[in-house]
Amino acid sequence: MSLLRNYFSGYLSFRSSETGRAWAREREEKKRLLSHAFSEKMLKEASDEEFVNVLTNALSSLWAMAIWTRREERINTIISRNGVKKLRDMFYYLIYSDDPLEVRFDNFRKNVWGLGAAAITEILCFVEPKKYAMWNKKVVSAIEKLGLLEDLTRTLSLKKASVLEINGHQYVKIIE
């Protein structure tokens, strides 16, 4: 428990620093951007041109997209391979449907090319932060540092090598 206390104390120090305050402002801006991009109004009523512009900005802001050296090209490929209508419909279904989360998550992963679990969970987390959790390399690394990764992989029925590639059922367990 002292390990967790030490990490938490370090986090509080970071948050009170200028760097931490800038990080918090960046997160608030990202929340605003993603909430707008994936709002019901944007997904249902915006023109295709406006939606593509806002979607491009939103996807560019994702930490999950930072691995791509040619990020703009990758985003354009995601949009062209999936199509604007399909992306609108799939994001709407993922975020606003009453179907169980694990069904929505798996359906999105199966039907949308180019966006994996890290991108999906990042979007969900910033759109509805009290409802969803982020799942990416940094989260897994933090869990590992706390000595909880082995228990988590067992709980989720995952192999350590594929811990980032989760399905909807596993994502629901992560949130729980």
In this predicted structure, the answer to whether residue 1 has a pLDDT above a threshold of 70 is no
- Does pTM surpass 0.85? yes
CB 93 within 8 A of CB 107: yes
- The number of helix segments (H) and strand segments (E) in the chain equals 11, 0
Q: Give me the DSSP letters along 89-131.
A: HHHHHHHH--S-HHHHHHHHHHHSTT--HHHHHHHHHHHSTTT
DSSP state of 64: G
Residues sharing a CB contact under 8 Å with residue 171, sequence separation 6 or more, in sequence order = 101, 102, 105, 117, 121, 135
pLDDT in tens, 86-96: 999 999 999 99
Q: What is the mean pLDDT of residues 135-163?
A: 88
Q: What is the mean pLDDT of residues 159-176?
A: 90
CB neighbourhood size of 24 (10 A): 12
CA dihedral 88, 90, 96, 101 (to 10 degrees): -160
Confidence at residue 68, expressed as pLDDT on a 0 to 100 scale: 84
Percent over 70 (pLDDT), the chain: 99
Q: What is the mean pLDDT of residues 129-147?
A: 93
The DSSP element (H or E) to which 174 belongs, if any, is helix 168-175
